[in-house]
Amino acid sequence: MNGASHRLVQVPPGVQCFLGDEARRRRSIEERVVAVFEGWDYEEIIPPLFDYADVFASQALLPKTYSFVGRDGSLLALRPDFTSLLAKIAAGRLAGRPAPMRLYYSGEVLRYEPPRAGRQSELYQMGLEHLGGDPRAADAEVLAIAAECLDVLGVSGFVLALGHVGVFGGLLAGTPLETATLERLRERVEAKDPAGVREALPPGVVPAPVADALVRLTTLSGDAPVLADAERALAFCPPARAAVAELRQVAEALRAAGLGGRLAIDLGEVRGLDYYTGLVFRAYAPGLGFEVGGGGRYDTLLARYGRPMPAVGFMLGLDRLALLLDRQGARPASAAAPPEVVGGNGLGPGLQRAREMRAAGVRLRFEERS
């Protein structure tokens, strides 16, 4: 027993195993989402399951990364996200390919997550990255693709909540704050907790108009008129104002394209992954208490791998989509009709018969005896 304290059928926490209707539903969701990605001319990349640990750029994911020492002593990590890997591939293996590049992936990421709402250690993500090209056009394109995926899956009542990390960043640019204070502030803005933002502000460091604007971010969410409110509230701060202008441009393009009813503006959406530099968004739908996916713009990440280029991407969580569709009452992908049974012909002739039927595309069950 090697002193193992568990039974062999026991499952370690955080891992999942799917069968029957659940497995069929997941496969069907994946096929439909991937078809949308292909339909917008994105090319599949199947990246490695692990890579050198320093390839993965997100500091926030670092404590959640399963890392280990390779045979040659190098520090390796199981992929905690795909974006870093695709950026590395775009800058390395695809260095000669002209921008823009449209790439997608579908597979598991591994993270150490304490058990809580909607989180597992093994997550199945389907996502895409739009590297290079006109930034606003790319922003609008990936949002339209995200909306199409959710439409194709039959998700009802979904909303894409759009924010911009440049609002928070712009307001605090040049203000000397300790990292811990900055993170605390960001977290309280994200929690839409005006009292908490006030409390997290160190006295006398942040100018009063900036402090007021930070508090205001907790309530600047909703329909399009929020953008006008934001422009007024942030008028004194050109970088924050520029961020809102970017959001407006993207939101107006999507509205003109018929997606207005799917949008929400949320200027308190400031957290995201730490490599995000611009637009950030999350997709919500009634029936699931947390987002089914999200994404954002990361204009400085590619430079890390030696090929500076603006980029934007998003991902949908397969686990969350399956849960959401179940809660919204979508019928599971049904099992196929019962197979034809091949039997009673003797092993050799029976196998021959089965092969002929398979060549004709018949679904069968082989029940010969030797």
Partner 1 sequence: MSLTIALSKGKLLAGAEDLFRKAGMPFPASEGRRLVVPVDGLRFLLVKDMDVPTYVEHGVADCGIAGRDVLLEMEPDVYEPVDLGFGRCRLVVARPRGASAATGASTVRVATKYPRVASAHFLERGRSVEVVRLAGSVELAPGLGLADCIVDVVETGRTLEENGLEVVEDVAVSSARLIVNRASYHARREEMSGLVRALEKARTA
Candidate residues 9, 17, 46, 117; the one interacting with partner 1 per rule CB under 8 A? 117
What part of residues 165-194 is at the interface with partner 1 (CB under 8 A)?
191-194
CB 279 within 8 A of CB 166: no
CB of 287 to partner 1, least distance (A): 8
DSSP label of 268: T
CB atoms within 10 A of CB 139: 27
What part of residues 5-64 is at the interface with partner 1 (CB under 8 A)?
none
Q: Is 286 in the site for partner 1 (CB under 8 A)?
A: yes
Give how far Cα 41 sits from Cα of 37, 198, 206, 236, Å: 7, 47, 47, 42
CB atoms within 10 A of CB 231: 14
Q: Is 129 in the site for partner 1 (CB under 8 A)?
A: no
- Nearer to partner 1 by Cβ, of 181 and 219: the residue is 219
Q: At 353, which amino acid appears?
A: R
- Nearer to partner 1 by Cβ, of 266 and 319: the residue is 266
- Nearer to partner 1 by Cβ, of 101 and 250: the residue is 250
**Which tokens is 363 given?**
């679904």
CA 79/CA 107 separation, integer angstroms? 10
Interaxial angle between packed helices 208-217 and 165-172, expressed in degrees from 0 to 180 and rounded to the nearest 10: 160
Candidate residues 53, 123, 159, 311; the one interacting with partner 1 per rule CB under 8 A? 159
Phi, psi of 9 (to 5 degrees): -85, -5
Q: Is 284 in the site for partner 1 (CB under 8 A)?
A: yes
Stretch that binds partner 1, among 4-12, 79-87, 128-136, 279-287 (CB under 8 A): 279-287
Q: How many residues bind partner 1 (CB under 8 A)?
A: 27
What part of residues 223-242 is at the interface with partner 1 (CB under 8 A)?
none
CB of 282 to partner 1, least distance (A): 8
**In terms of DSSP H, where are the helices of 191-336?**
194-200, 208-217, 225-233, 238-254, 301-304, 318-327
Residue position matching structure tokens 């995200």: 146
What part of residues 327-356 is at the interface with partner 1 (CB under 8 A)?
none
Chain positions contacting partner 1, by CB under 8 A = 116-118, 157-159, 161, 191-196, 218-219, 221-222, 264, 266, 284-291
